[in-house]
Amino acid sequence: MKSQINLSNSLNRTYFASAIVALFFIISISGIIFPALTEWSARIANRNYNGEGLIEYIEAVCWLCSSIIFFLIFLRYIRSNGWNLKAFWLVGFSLFSFVCFGEELSWGQHVFHFETTEVVQEYNKQNEYNVHNLNICKICGIPEDDHRCNYLRNFNIILNPLFYLICGIVWFVIPVMKKIGIFVRNKLISTLPSPSLSTAIFCGVNLTVYLLVDKLFFDIGEILELALALVGLMTPLDILFKEDLSSRNDAILKGVV
């Protein structure tokens, strides 16, 4: 019964997340198919839009909530179990989510609209307070005609694939492998808090669709980032609901005994 309730909650979250991603995908391609909707689509889905679309604010909220929930799980866990590998994973995920939150909003600049300093304007491709758009060529003094500047002129060219890869490994590959019995004896990986199987599959499907559509048809990087932000939020929720069900079940068993 406990596993069935947890599976039902996880599936409901996955269905809801899928509906959100599908909605923004439709909004995004509507601007391509119908010229009259181009500007509206850009403002909502942040396609070729020089500013913040609604989609990025949703991503930021997801990452902030993820960071808070992971930290609350960490506090509750460490009170009962002390410091161990799982505790480090939990606080690490909390910090990771908080950094994603800050980068989405350029650490508050998109909300409070404070001015960018001359130094940031010189070394940041988008003239904003964030790391992912740094011009590494200028920082390292590499000449603009150097072939390395094709990749280092905007740090995002490197960080985005790395971000997708890390999320794919942590939230899709490892959970699936653990489910089929691989790596279960590896202490580092077995203690890694993983999402439910439905959340992991949701992550894997979105990564696969991105690789196919983005490379063959048109840019859907922002849609993938929305999906990963939703996975980032669903993962601690999966962990939290599973632990709560376990706690209630243990309490019932103690009461019976």
Q: What is the pLDDT of residue 5?
A: 54
Q: 119 lies in a domain?
A: no
Q: 77 lies in a domain?
A: yes
Q: What is the pLDDT of residue 250?
A: 43
The whole-angstrom separation of Cα 175 and Cα 167 is 11
The whole-angstrom separation of Cα 216 and Cα 165 is 19
> Under a CB-based contact definition with an 8 Å cutoff, are residues 191 and 93 in contact?
no
Residue with tokens 């909390």: 94
Q: What is the pLDDT of residue 50?
A: 54
Q: Which domain holds residue 22?
A: 2-103+162-246
pLDDT tens for the chain, 257 residues: list them.
Answer: 445 555 678 889 999 999 999 999 999 999 889 999 988 998 888 766 555 688 999 999 999 999 999 999 999 999 999 999 999 999 999 999 999 999 999 898 878 878 888 888 888 988 888 898 898 888 888 888 888 888 888 898 999 999 999 999 999 999 999 999 887 788 889 899 999 999 999 999 999 999 999 888 888 999 999 999 999 999 999 999 887 555 544 443 344 44
Q: 37 lies in a domain?
A: yes
Q: 242 lies in a domain?
A: yes
Q: 6 lies in a domain?
A: yes
Q: How far is CA 35 from the centre of its chain?
A: 31
The whole-angstrom separation of Cα 193 and Cα 81 is 15
Question: Is 67 in a helix, a strand, or coil?
Answer: helix
> In Å, how far are 31, 130, 145, 223 from 138, measured between CA atoms?
35, 16, 12, 30
The predicted model scores a pTM of 0.90
For the chain, what is the domain count? 1
Q: 147 lies in a domain?
A: no
Q: 22 lies in a domain?
A: yes
Tokens of 226: 């929305």
Q: 25 lies in a domain?
A: yes
